Structure 1
């Protein structure tokens, strides 16, 4: 090597010392940062800052926020990072009206609950009160103030096989057909224990057997379109489709 490129040991020692000093300083800064971060985390987890501050509920139409939050078991004393999302969602889903439930944690200490409710397909009357019948077949034992007005009322039905059969048929109906029915009365005959009478919103009555209701009532709009709307009567769907007008003095229960 040429004499101009030779670096003496005396010249290299200060540079090596400087490099070591920088490494030591960086390591010290890193350790101090980690230490303070751990302190902050300990303070955070021990303070109210880590507790649930807010619970936002969405998707509920008939169930109150309070009912959902109470069922979830979450309170403002709950540590947000100890919340088991799957278990909390399962608790909420145990509410009969809840079809689906999901729970999310949002920074820094909020919980978001999203639910989907079972649709109501009918109300069952006990003569004085109306109780919702859900799409999954469950009958709620509590009356609700916010009634859905476009679903049928079931009269003279009791819990059991007959009601289950009726719900199964209603589950198969298109929404426009379901919404056109005002009332369904359980009206058994000697020859047909499943006979029902439907009172439609347009003033017609339908005589049918429960077990074939879903397959036959879908033709109702087509049948009615061929009738005189000013002449109300009974449409018999038990066997075929026969129309019989009300007698002048013996009109239907809807007063038509």
Structure 2
């Protein structure tokens, strides 16, 4: 007959006390760890360790880094965790040169500001100086040039801001390959059509068109020119339909 081993309550009590003590110690260590972690986070957030050390600005060509950082309000005393990215983005895009902006935290101490500026689509001339003009119609008066290098057309005689803005908006939509073919754009409003323009091209041709839907209609220019004799002289009409009119035909 098997005999069952009987453990007295006196033998079990020390083991139960030891198990409870270990459990209590583990719980204490856990709470102390949480406490010290929270204290460390608070100390970190209140100390210079959480301040921005580097601000990287990319995508800017017309604006200086220092100007953008000043406008953003960020400094090396700014806590990296307290920056309001949407607010900074809204502030930056108030600048007429900036089309869009994105602000990113790059831990532990860096903030990246990525910009997209409006493209320069031409130049305007005031007295004897030339100034870049952007796709939203903003003239960069602070960038003064004695001449232009042919990387964008000269925009001439646009005396009304409304039509100048329409024109630059259309130029913004043009591929660079076509924009770079244009030497000058002259506003030639008539009583019947205030949108009339005349273009002088770098290849020697003239183009008669309108501001309205200019970007779309100008897409046919390379195709038309490819069918013409390079020695021929005339004007390409891209208003209603698209066709070439030779100066020789006019003489005849």
Q: Report deviation, 1:22.
A: 0.7
Return closer, same or farther for 1:165/1:112 CA change in 2, 3 Å cut-off: closer
Query: Judging changes above 3 Å, is the alpha-carbon distance between structure 1 residues 237 and 29 closer, same or farther for their aligned structure 2 residues?
Result: closer
The residue correspondences of 1:36-185 to structure 2 (distance < 5 A) are: 36-143=36-143, 149-185=150-186
CA distance in 1, matches of 2:212, 2:86: 40
Q: Deviations over 1:116-143 (max 9, x none)?
A: 2222222222243333332234334432
Deviation at 1:215, TM superposition (A): 5.2
Structure 1 residues without counterparts, runs of 5 or longer: 247-256
Contact 2:119 2:172 in 1 (8 A): no
Length-normalised TM-score, structure 2: 0.82
Q: How does 1:166-245 map to 2 (within 5 A)?
A: 166-188=167-189, 193-211=194-212, 213-214=214-215, 216-237=217-238, 241-245=243-247
TM-score for the superposition, normalised by structure 1: 0.80
For structure 2, the residue ranges without an aligned partner over 5 or more in a row are none
Q: What's the Cα RMSD here?
A: 2.8
- Are 1:124 and 1:157, in contact at CA under 8 Å, matched by a contact in 2? no
Give 3-state SS (helix, strand or coil) of 1:157's partner: coil
In 2: Cα distance, 1:21 partner to 1:144 partner? 80
Alignment size in residue pairs: 244
Contact 2:136 2:165 in 1 (8 A): no
Rounded to whole Å, the distance in 2 between the matches of 1:117 and 1:148 is 21
